[in-house]
């Protein structure tokens, strides 16, 4: 009898050893997959209660041993499949997301159901499956390491026992659930700011609490405040910052004047936009006895007033840049400084930091000097006023303006000769009524007056950077803040060249020829319908400029060294440059590189935030304008192609909308990722970047800042427009690299 019991026990052990082996195989052979205990038991063919309990205990043991891990949805996955693949979620569609893991590696495709509780912007760990989605590896989020944000803006919908907030942020694809006690007095259709109190998942809405009511959705003030809140922009200055600004003495002492070169008797003027209030740069000019000209670039001496380790300094660093929304400026510095003390207003003595050049008639620098100055501006020009003088050769300081313009042309010609790239992207501004409603979209036009100022600012920035770089010989250079721009990625340039070829334009992609070829292309497309699309894509194909202590060059400007010296009222890096320049002029040793690199990184991040917010405000006004625009057909050009539709830029208004695949109902269209186009399965019609279409507005969504378009006449648009080309694999061998295979890469 004891022998029988032993045999039965052995059989039980053997049976469970088999089950353990199966369980281990489940995890090792299915990397990235998550399994519940019931699923594991089913796969191991476990049915008895005692075996099911053993499975549960074994799972617990494996977790304690670190061989498996419970993930966010309550399932378990093998640790072997979790080799610390970390990235940031880019939730581009309600159906799927990508996780960016590095510039040199392809993004990981994640189905929305495999995101768990992760949302756009979160830092996550990801396991990768053996399968792929097109050119992308496919995976599943295992854990959220860091939340990208916990505050959102949206429109609230209030019911009797609960409320929902529909987020403005288009990459947030879930509404927020709000309990009655967390509604905070908001009414249906209010724009509100909410804080997340509990994160949800693919099938459960996150919970939130209303922390601020911005106003009624659709009203200008509420919508602009929504954008400010969405990007974390400050609404006002802290009382201590304003108090510090108010305390600053505006008087200029004799002692201070003695420390500076006095330019008050020399002809000096500013040239700025008509609506500008902060004038941070001025030009002085005088003829020297030897026939050369002395030209001074005088910049507001902000760091004279904003001292280190003060509330003003901390606030300037935190903001890092002024932000220019369509109807307002969010300044880096309080108005007391930006519009009064530091602003180089006419007929007032002002403290400045200058780069002064003796230049011959070929606009070549003979000598240069850097240091603190005092000026007295004789005249405040708007760009329009200065342009009138240049065109009519009549008005105040005609001789000086004409000479400066001549020198600017020579400086510009020399830049391009050395390889600078002429990027003239089209920007728009809005004519607004008293309530902020857009009445017209107006392209900004840059003329000689703008380019005159630009050239001398570029000259000062370049020479300041070169001066500091050259102060010490050898490798041991002074730490400095540079503005750098890397050479473009060859793959992106090749892709752009392929795009340009579709319009009939050739582009040389060899590194030594890129600049010259790009400039030729920009000249070719000027005034043509494809100009804006190709200019925008050319900029996107370039590397991003950034602030760094690394003494690298600037590809776009063709400068060996470049910095930002000329706008300290609105850019913190310029304040750093002023301080460092004076530090080295005083003969002091190099500063801590690590500290300043951190400040550069912060400044670059704040610059991106500002640019994103500015684009969002422009998009909002474009959507608002098209919502009330005349209901008629518009000519458009395809500016982006994705698996969910066509992005189309309306040529007349420069507004971009989308023709959704679901609205292309004459055939079943598919996204050809390899050839970057949309193709009809039956009729083989092909739509690709740059095609011209006639469209009309179907609907607008101000909350999401989206414009939905449809073909003006589907039959005409699909079948008769010359640009809607027949598609054949035999005749089209364009191969677009994966780096541009989805809209998020080029938008």
Is the same domain home to 363 and 499? no
Query: Which stretches of the chain score pLDDT less than 50?
Result: 1-8, 81-82, 714-747
Is the same domain home to 303 and 248? yes
Nearest to 323 by CA among 333, 334, 331, 315: 331
3-state secondary structure of 503: coil
| Virtual torsion, Cα 16, 19, 21, 24, nearest 10 deg | -120
CATH number of domain containing 140? 2.40.50.140
What phi, psi does 195 have (nearest 5°)? -105, 135
Query: In whole angstroms, what is the distance from residue 378 CA to residue 279 CA?
Result: 13
Q: What is the pLDDT of residues 374-424, one digit of tens each?
A: 999 999 999 999 999 999 999 999 999 999 999 999 999 999 999 888 876
Confidence at residue 535, expressed as pLDDT on a 0 to 100 scale: 79
Query: In whole angstroms, what is the distance from residue 553 CA to residue 548 CA?
Result: 11
Structure tokens at 280: 């941070």
Q: In the 3-class helix/strand/coil scheme, how is 83-113 assigned residue by residue? A: CCCEEEEECCCCCEEEEECCCCCCCEEEEHH
187 in a structural domain: yes
Confidence at residue 198, expressed as pLDDT on a 0 to 100 scale: 93
Confidence at residue 243, expressed as pLDDT on a 0 to 100 scale: 94
Q: What is the pLDDT of residues 623-655, one digit of tens each?
A: 999 998 878 899 998 888 888 899 999 988 889
Is the same domain home to 279 and 418? yes
Confidence at residue 65, expressed as pLDDT on a 0 to 100 scale: 64
What pTM value is reported for the model?
0.80
Non-local (6+) Cβ contacts of 622 within 8 A are 428, 438, 441, 653, 654, 655, 656, 707
Is the same domain home to 320 and 395? yes
Task: Provide the domain limits for residue 512.
Answer: 490-542
Confidence at residue 8, expressed as pLDDT on a 0 to 100 scale: 47
Confidence at residue 727, expressed as pLDDT on a 0 to 100 scale: 35
227 in a structural domain: no
Confidence at residue 735, expressed as pLDDT on a 0 to 100 scale: 27
Interstrand relation of 379-382 and 268-272 (parallel, antiparallel or unpaired): parallel
CATH number of domain containing 51? 1.10.10
Is the same domain home to 697 and 634? yes
Is the same domain home to 137 and 159? no
209 in a structural domain: yes
Is the same domain home to 459 and 436? yes
The residues facing 700 across adjacent strands are 707
The total of other beta-carbon atoms located within 10 Å of residue 236's CB is 9
Interstrand relation of 151-158 and 692-701 (parallel, antiparallel or unpaired): unpaired
């Amino acid at each position: 009898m004891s022998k029988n019991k032993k045999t039965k026990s052995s059989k039980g052990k053997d049976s469970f050893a088999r089950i353990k082996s199966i369980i281990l195989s489940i995890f090792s052979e299915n990397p990235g997959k998550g399994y519940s205990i019931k699923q594991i038991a089913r796969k191991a063919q476990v049915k008895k209660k005692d075996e099911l309990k053993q499975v549960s205990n074994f799972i617990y043991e494996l977790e304690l041993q670190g061989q498996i891990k419970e993930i966010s949805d309550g399932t378990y996955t093998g640790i072997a499949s979790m080799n610390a693949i970390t990235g940031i979620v880019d939730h581009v569609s309600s159906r799927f997301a990508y996780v960016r893991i590095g510039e040199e590696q392809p993004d990981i495709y994640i189905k929305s159901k495999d995101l768990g509780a992760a949302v756009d912007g979160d830092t996550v760990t990801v396991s990768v499956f053996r399968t792929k989605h097109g050119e992308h590896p496919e995976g599943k989020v295992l854990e959220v390491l860091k939340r990208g944000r916990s505050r959102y803006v949206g429109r609230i919908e209030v019911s009797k026992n609960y409320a929902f907030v529909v987020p403005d942020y288009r990459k947030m694809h879930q509404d927020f659930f709000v309990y009655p006690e967390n509604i905070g007095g908001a009414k249906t259709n209010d724009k509100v700011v909410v804080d997340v109190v509990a994160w949800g998942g693919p099938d459960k809405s996150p919970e939130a609490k209303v922390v601020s009511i911005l106003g009624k959705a659709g009203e200008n003030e509420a919508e602009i405040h929504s954008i400010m809140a969405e990007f974390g922009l400050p609404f006002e200055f802290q009382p201590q910052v304003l108090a510090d600004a108010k305390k600053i003495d505006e008087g200029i002492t004799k002692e201070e004047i003695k420390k500076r070169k006095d330019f008050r008797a020399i002809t000096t003027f500013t040239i700025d936009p008509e609506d500008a209030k902060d004038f941070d740069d001025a030009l002085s000019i005088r003829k020297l006895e030897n026939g050369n000209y002395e030209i001074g670039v005088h910049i507001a001496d902000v760091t004279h007033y904003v001292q280190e380790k003060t509330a003003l300094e901390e606030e300037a660093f935190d903001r890092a840049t002024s932000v220019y929304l369509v109807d307002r400026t969010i300044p880096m510095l309080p108005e007391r400084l930006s519009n009064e003390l530091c602003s180089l207003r006419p007929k007032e003595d002002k403290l400045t930091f200058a780069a002064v050049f003796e230049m011959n008639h070929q606009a070549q620098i003979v000598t240069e000097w850097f240091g603190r100055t005092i000026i007295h501006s004789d005249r405040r020009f708007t760009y329009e006023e200065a342009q009138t003088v240049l065109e009519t050769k009549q008005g105040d300081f005609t001789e000086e303006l004409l000479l400066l313009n001549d020198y600017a042309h020579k400086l510009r010609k020399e830049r391009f000769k050395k390889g600078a790239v002429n990027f003239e992207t089209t920007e728009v501004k809005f004519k607004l009524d008293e309530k902020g409603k857009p009445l017209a979209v107006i392209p900004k036009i840059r003329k000689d007056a703008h380019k005159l100022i630009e050239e001398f600012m570029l000259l000062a920035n370049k020479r300041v950077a070169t001066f500091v770089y050259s102060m010490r010989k050898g490798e041991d250079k002074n730490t400095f803040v540079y503005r750098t721009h890397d050479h473009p990625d060859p793959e992106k340039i090749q892709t752009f060249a392929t795009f340009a070829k579709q319009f009939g334009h050739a582009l040389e992609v060899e590194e030594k020829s890129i600049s010259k070829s790009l400039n030729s292309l920009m000249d070719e497309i000027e005034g043509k319908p494809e100009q804006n699309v190709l200019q925008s894509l050319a900029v996107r194909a370039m590397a991003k400029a950034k602030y760094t202590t690394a003494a690298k060059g600037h590809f776009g400007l063709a400068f060996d060294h470049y910095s930002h010296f000329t706008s300290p009222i609105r850019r913190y890096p310029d304040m750093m440059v002023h301080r460092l320049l004076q530090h080295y002029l005083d003969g002091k040793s190099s500063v801590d590189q690590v500290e300043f690199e951190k400040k550069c990184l912060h400044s670059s991040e704040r610059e991106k935030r500002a640019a994103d917010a500015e684009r969002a405000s422009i998009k909002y006004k474009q959507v608002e304008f098209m919502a009330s625009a005349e209901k008629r057909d518009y000519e458009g050009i395809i500016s982006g192609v994705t698996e969910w539709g066509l992005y189309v830029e309306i040529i007349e208004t420069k507004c971009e909308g989308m023709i959704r695949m679901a609205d292309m109902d004459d055939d079943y269209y598919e996204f050809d990722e390899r050839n970057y186009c949309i193709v009809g399965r039956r009729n083989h019609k092909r739509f690709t970047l740059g095609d011209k279409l006639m469209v009309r507005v179907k609907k607008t969504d101000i909350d999401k800042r989206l414009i939905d378009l449809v073909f003006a006449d589907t039959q005409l648009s699909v079948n008769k427009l010359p640009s809607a080309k027949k598609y054949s694999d035999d005749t089209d061998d364009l191969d677009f690299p994966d780096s541009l295979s989805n809209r998020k890469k080029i938008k």
